[in-house]
Amino acid sequence: MMDEQIFPPARILGIESSCDETSAAVIANGREPLSIVTATQIEMHAQFGGVFPEVASRQHIKTVYGVIEQALQQAHMSLSDVDAIAVTLGPGLAGSLVVGVNAAKGLAVASGLPLVGVNHLEGHIYSAWLRPPEMADLPPAPQFPLLALLVSGGHTELNLITNHLEYQRLGGTLDDAAGEAFDKVARLLGLPYPGGPSIQEAAKNGNPRTFQFPRSMLEGTWNFSFSGLKTAVLRAVQNFKNDPENLPVNDLAASFQTAVVDVLVSKTLAAAKAYGAKEILLAGGVSANAALREGFRKHSPIKVNIPDLSYCTDNAAMIAAAGYFRFVAGHVSDLDVDVLPNLSLS
Ligand code: KG4
Ligand code: ZN
């Protein structure tokens, strides 16, 4: 446990470029943000309705050094003031990952600093214990064992975290990730990319009980499936094909969002109970969803750790945070380390 274990002080420069955000941050002791700079490409990809890998890679090349420079400047530091460079190795888009990893390697060679390769999903997990930018105090340290629900654009999985850096994967999605389902359903409803925030916005003005969409519980497993739900939304949309002006977008968005939240909350709470977890952790881009955050806060009998909104979607603060715990545990990468686009947590 963080409060009981003694961790040495260290300042980590983090670099993240796994998808469509180029980000750099300096974090002290795994939890204190000294600077965070993120260049988002969302507007560039919105015209394609999703992330266009080649465009993402080129844009990372253009921005990565400027973003790193700015993060050091905002922390009033030069490279000689940090103890290690942490960078996302995977999972993610190969062409995007390689830009951040090569930048990190170049800086590590030039400065002689150790290089720490980080799993992007582990970054999302450690985002929960970063001090939010507007707050004076650190959030309370985690209590293990902890049941983590990771929900992002590429992942939906339940992990039991038994200690720092120790994960036992209980199950995951058999088809779409939760964020992917939000993005695809948004497209069906004619809402802009990224789909998650668009659906959340539309759902505010909708009735979640208008459509009774299926909740796939996959009893007896800790797996998820969202393809049936997606198909049910598609069928509901098709029923309006002769009357598209009257498509009840807000009600469809609200009914879909409620179905996703019901499944995620109830399966996570059941797993937490089954494994005797002391706390729950919600992380990944979809953890920004207000209905999901509210669902957990309302129904969980045990403490729920949820990252500050500013840390939910991809950022380098979380990579520096996870990198710190790797670094102090002695996990330093070789300079010939390669990107791992399909890296898993456990
Ligand atoms: O973690 P993340 O930034 O990137 C990945 O590692 O995949 O997650 C991106 C995903 C997208 O699918 C996006 O639609 C979803 O997170 N997302 C949301 C919300 N904000 C972002 N989903 C639901 N509600 C939100 N408010
Ligand atoms: Zn992510």
Give the span between the Cα atoms of 288 and 31, in whole angstroms.
Answer: 19
Give the span between the Cα atoms of 93 and 340, in whole angstroms.
Answer: 9
| Whether pLDDT at 1 is above 50 | no
- Token pair of 35, please? 């600077």
- Is the shortest distance between the CB of 289 and ligand 1 below 6 Å? yes
Q: Which tens digit of pLDDT belongs to each residue from 60-80? A: 999 999 999 999 999 999 999
Measured between alpha carbons, how far is residue 325 from residues 1, 87, 116, 196, 321 in Å?
12, 13, 10, 30, 7
Number of residues that make up the chain: 346
Give the span between the Cα atoms of 332 and 12, in whole angstroms.
Answer: 13
Give the span between the Cα atoms of 253 and 33, in whole angstroms.
Answer: 35
Give the span between the Cα atoms of 213 and 236, in whole angstroms.
Answer: 10
Residue 137: HSE in the Cβ half-sphere, 13 Å Cα cutoff? 3
Residues with CB under 5 A from ligand 2 (ion): 152, 314
Nearest to 157 by CA among 119, 195, 187: 119
Strand ranges across the sheet with 156-163: 166-172, 156-163, 146-151, 279-283, 303-305
pLDDT band at 49 (very low <50, low <70, confident <90, very high): confident
Give the span between the Cα atoms of 89 and 97, in whole angstroms.
Answer: 6
| Whether pLDDT at 4 is above 70 | no
- Is the shortest distance between the CB of 286 and ligand 1 below 6 Å? yes
**Cα(291) to centroid of ligand 2, in Å?**
19
Per-residue confidence (pLDDT) for residue 105, from 0 to 100: 98
State which ligand 1 atom lies nearest to the alpha carbon of 193.
14
Per-residue confidence (pLDDT) for residue 50, from 0 to 100: 86
Give the span between the Cα atoms of 214 and 75, in whole angstroms.
Answer: 49
Identify whether the C-beta of residue 116 lies closer than 8 Å to the C-beta of residue 12.
Answer: yes
Share of the chain above pLDDT 70, in %: 99
- Ligand closest to Cα of 177 equals 1
In sequence order, what are the residues at sequence separation of 6 or more whose Cβ sits closer than 8 angstroms to the Cβ of residue 90? 18, 97, 119, 120, 339, 340, 341, 342, 343
- Token pair of 228, please? 């049936």
- Is the shortest distance between the CB of 14 and ligand 1 below 6 Å? no
Q: Which tens digit of pLDDT belongs to each residue from 159-208? A: 999 999 999 999 999 999 999 999 999 999 999 999 999 999 999 999 99
- The residue to mutate among 19, 286, 318, having the most atoms of ligand 1 within 8 angstroms of its beta carbon, is 286
**Cα(284) to centroid of ligand 1, in Å?**
7
**Cα(223) to centroid of ligand 2, in Å?**
20
- The residue to mutate among 18, 313, 318, having the most atoms of ligand 1 within 8 angstroms of its beta carbon, is 313
- Is the shortest distance between the CB of 153 and ligand 1 below 6 Å? yes
Q: Which tens digit of pLDDT belongs to each residue from 271-322? A: 999 999 999 999 999 999 999 999 999 999 999 999 999 999 999 999 999 9
- Is the shortest distance between the CB of 33 and ligand 1 below 6 Å? no
**Cα(250) to centroid of ligand 2, in Å?**
27
Measured between alpha carbons, how far is residue 58 from residues 62, 100, 106 in Å?
6, 12, 18
How many distinct helices (H) and strands (E) make up the chain?
A: 10, 10
- The residue to mutate among 22, 93, 152, 199, having the most atoms of ligand 1 within 8 angstroms of its beta carbon, is 152
Identify whether the C-beta of residue 158 lies closer than 8 Å to the C-beta of residue 171.
Answer: yes
Identify whether the C-beta of residue 287 lies closer than 8 Å to the C-beta of residue 312.
Answer: yes
Question: How much is the mean pLDDT over the chain?
Answer: 96
Identify whether the C-beta of residue 30 lies closer than 8 Å to the C-beta of residue 324.
Answer: yes
For tokens 């400027």, what's the residue? 66
State which ligand 1 atom lies nearest to the alpha carbon of 284.
1
Which residues are paired to 258 by β-bridges?
none
- Is the shortest distance between the CB of 19 and ligand 1 below 6 Å? yes
Give the span between the Cα atoms of 306 and 284, in whole angstroms.
Answer: 10
Which residues are paired to 168 by β-bridges?
160
- The residue to mutate among 21, 96, 182, having the most atoms of ligand 1 within 8 angstroms of its beta carbon, is 182
Tell me the pTM.
0.96
